[in-house]
Amino acid sequence: MSRRIFVPRDTSAVACGADAVADRIRSEAARRGVDVTVVRNGSRGLCWLEPLVEIETDEGRIGYGPIGVVDVEGLFDAGFPGDVRHPRALGLVENMAWLKRQLRHCFSRNGITDPLDLADYAANGGWAGFAQARSMASEAIVQTVIESGLRGRGGAAFPCGIKWKTVLDQVAEQKYIVCNADEGDSGTFSDRMLIEGDPYRLIEGMLIAGRAVGATKGYVYLRSEYPLACRVFAEALDTAREAGWLGSDIRGGGRDFDIELRIGAGAYICGEETSLLESLEGRRGQVRFKPPLPAIKGLFGKPTVINNVITLASVPDILANGAAWYRDLGVGRSRGTLPIQLGGNIRRGGLIELAFGVTLRELLDEFGGGSASGRPIRAVQVGGPLGAYLPESQFDTPLDYEAFAAIDAMLGHGGIVVFDDSVDMAEQARFAMEFCAVESCGKCTPCRIGSTRGVEVIDRMRAGTDAEADEVLLRSLCDTMLHGSLCALGGLTPLPVLSALKHFPEDFAVRR
């Protein structure tokens, strides 16, 4: 029997050489006359071990990582495929503490299945949520999502079910489901990893959303910086459509739903929901005034659900297991699980799905294993480029939307970027302003002009003609941006700036 070997086709694995490793395994096996089948799975999220090669055995899957092309021959020499002695051997992957401690719901299939194999999907719990939703009335589906406590994972944490209810309550001949896969926040990659590793889960979530609110058409707006995710998802749509999971009369249930993939064009602001709609309609991605809410007047003026990838991908399990199952996980008003992304200067970075409530310190120490450089961790930025920088004294903050808000920080899309003690926090604050200037949609002056001024003021502070006056100026500039911006790009850029200034004032001192 052919032995199955798994080599991820996830962007991070490929970025570390997985394609070449897969080719080398095939050619080396052929040369030695060993019968193997190489499966290109998604990523387990153990990014520091990528490329992570796994072999199927009777006991389970045995891992080796990170494996480079140069390691392949040695692996075969040692008796590969099989449970061989090797410095990179990890044992049974599912027994690894890093995975065992997690609660993999949204990412239950990632790294385990062949992302595009529908049979694999169905055999591993796929479509169970849809099957449940199919037997329910729209109102009951929406009610389940409300009761689950699921909040939007794109950043704003708005209750998902309430949004769905608003759209359900609208009377319109056409409604839309729009999936926000723009994932512009630096330090975040869960949307990408889900789409590359388990794309049918997103399709299933959108099918359920469509049934819940009475929409027959969906769009996925995926950023152009993710070419591999674009290819995988386009293929997933074709395969699902051929199998009758998309199109008209889905699986004989008498309902229609189809999904169109649209590719972004390198504008961070197009992750903001109204800007995203403008972009889908073929215009500049300028933010719209609200109201009207997209749920009432959204895409092409029609009632529209806009949700993040992870929000939609969380829905199938909620339907399959019930609202109470999900609501019982988490803390406070943050219910369920969050796929956390640990990146930057960290030894063991990757994707960690846990119930809300875990502290930053647990993540940094127990999962992360300290910095990659071996130097002390000095700061972490949570929640993307608009998120606050937190010093060590705040590492006991639990991952919970309200706990973060209470310390003027933001959980956002769950990205944690780690910096060691070589970081220059004034430089980071300057970058936050610079990024805002580059990405501003230009609609409001505080954001468009204020951010450029912010860069100049920070430069002046450090040049030191009148640092005190410049600090006052910087604070007042932040205040203007905070209160005078239409959206969170201008409105939250002060968060990283002011947190850096507050917790690391010494870095803003004059440079000589």
Partner 1 sequence: MKPHVARPDPSSPGSGLDAVARASVEAVIASFESRQDVLLPILHGIQDALGFVPPASLPLVASALNLSRAEVHGVVSFYHHFRSEAPGRHVLRLCRAEACQAMGARAIEAHVRRRLGIGYNETSADGRITLEPVYCLGNCACAPSAMLDEQVHGRLSLEAVDRLLDGCGEVA
Alpha carbons 126 and 121: distance in angstroms, whole number: 5
Q: How far is the CB of 447 from ligand FMN (least distance, A)?
A: 10
Does residue 432 touch ligand SF4 according to CB under 6 A?
no
Q: How far is the CB of 151 from partner 1 (least distance, A)?
A: 23
Angle (deg, nearest 10), helices 199-213 and 309-321: 70
Q: Which two tokens stand for residue 397?
A: 């903050």
CB-wise, 78 or 156, nearer to ligand FMN? 156
Contact residues: ligand FMN, CB under 6 A: 152-156, 158, 180, 182-185, 269, 271-273, 306-308, 311, 487-489
CB-wise, 266 or 376, nearer to partner 1? 266
Does residue 444 touch ligand SF4 according to CB under 6 A?
yes
Nearest to 493 by CA among 443, 417, 438: 438
Task: Give residues with Cβ within 8 angstroms of 125, minimum separation 6.
Answer: 108, 109, 320
Q: Please count the residues of this chain forming the interface with ligand SF4, following the rule CB under 6 A.
A: 14
Q: Which residue has the tokens 């008003």?
A: 333
What Å distances lie between residue 254 and 55, 57, 211, 332, 396, CA to CA?
A: 42, 43, 11, 40, 51
- Residue 283: contacted member of ligand FMN, partner 1, ligand SF4, none (CB under 5 to 8 Å, by partner type): partner 1
Among 269, 280, 433, 500, which residue sits at the site for ligand SF4 (rule: CB under 6 A)?
A: 269
CB-wise, 196 or 362, nearer to partner 1? 196
Residues paired with 178 in a beta bridge? 219, 306
- Residue 273: contacted member of ligand FMN, ligand FES, ligand SF4, none (CB under 5 to 8 Å, by partner type): ligand FMN
Scanning 5-13, 128-136, 316-324, 484-492 for contacts with ligand SF4 by CB under 6 A, the matching segment is 484-492
CB-wise, 330 or 385, nearer to partner 1? 385
**Cβ(294)–Cβ(274) below 8 Å:** yes
Q: Which two tokens stand for residue 110?
A: 């990632």
- Residue 124: contacted member of partner 1, ligand FMN, ligand FES, none (CB under 5 to 8 Å, by partner type): none
CB-wise, 101 or 284, nearer to ligand SF4? 284
Q: Please spell the DSSP secondary structure of 313-346, one letter per residue.
A: HHHHHHHHH-HHHHHTSEETTEESEEEEEEEES-
**Cβ(35)–Cβ(191) below 8 Å:** no
Does residue 416 touch ligand SF4 according to CB under 6 A?
no
CB-wise, 359 or 452, nearer to ligand SF4? 452
- Residue 376: contacted member of ligand SF4, partner 1, ligand FMN, none (CB under 5 to 8 Å, by partner type): none
CB-wise, 42 or 187, nearer to ligand FES? 187
Contact residues: ligand FES, CB under 6 A: 186-187, 442-445
Count CB atoms within 10 A of the CB of residue 78: 14
Does residue 267 touch ligand SF4 according to CB under 6 A?
no
Helices (H) and strands (E) in the chain — how many of each? 21, 16
Scanning 62-70, 212-220, 251-259, 443-451 for contacts with ligand SF4 by CB under 6 A, the matching segment is 443-451
Backbone angles phi, psi at 350, to 5 degrees: 155, -160
Q: Which two tokens stand for residue 9?
A: 């086709």
Alpha carbons 141 and 470: distance in angstroms, whole number: 54
- Residue 488: contacted member of ligand FMN, partner 1, ligand FES, none (CB under 5 to 8 Å, by partner type): ligand FMN
What Å distances lie between residue 382 and 77, 102, 168, 344, 421, CA to CA?
A: 44, 20, 34, 11, 17
- Residue 447: contacted member of ligand SF4, ligand FES, ligand FMN, none (CB under 5 to 8 Å, by partner type): ligand SF4
Contact residues: partner 1, CB under 8 A: 11-12, 14-16, 47-48, 50, 183-189, 191-193, 224-229, 262-268, 279-285, 300, 341-346, 349-351, 372, 381, 385, 415, 417-420, 423, 428, 431, 435, 438-439
- Residue 49: contacted member of ligand FMN, partner 1, ligand SF4, none (CB under 5 to 8 Å, by partner type): none
- Residue 186: contacted member of ligand SF4, ligand FMN, ligand FES, none (CB under 5 to 8 Å, by partner type): ligand FES
Which parts of 116-156 are beta strand (E)? Answer: none
Task: Give residues with Cβ within 8 angstroms of 505, minimum separation 6.
Answer: none
- Residue 280: contacted member of ligand FMN, partner 1, ligand FES, none (CB under 5 to 8 Å, by partner type): partner 1
- Residue 435: contacted member of partner 1, ligand FMN, ligand SF4, none (CB under 5 to 8 Å, by partner type): partner 1
CA dihedral defined by 456, 457, 461, 467, rounded to 10 degrees?
150
CB-wise, 75 or 386, nearer to ligand SF4? 386
Q: How far is the CB of 179 from ligand FES (least distance, A)?
A: 21
Q: Which two tokens stand for residue 141?
A: 């589906």
Strands 377-382 and 415-420: antiparallel
Q: How far is the CB of 361 from ligand FMN (least distance, A)?
A: 26
Q: Which residue has the tokens 């004032």?
A: 505
Does residue 279 touch ligand SF4 according to CB under 6 A?
no
Sign of CA dihedral 194, 197, 202, 205: negative
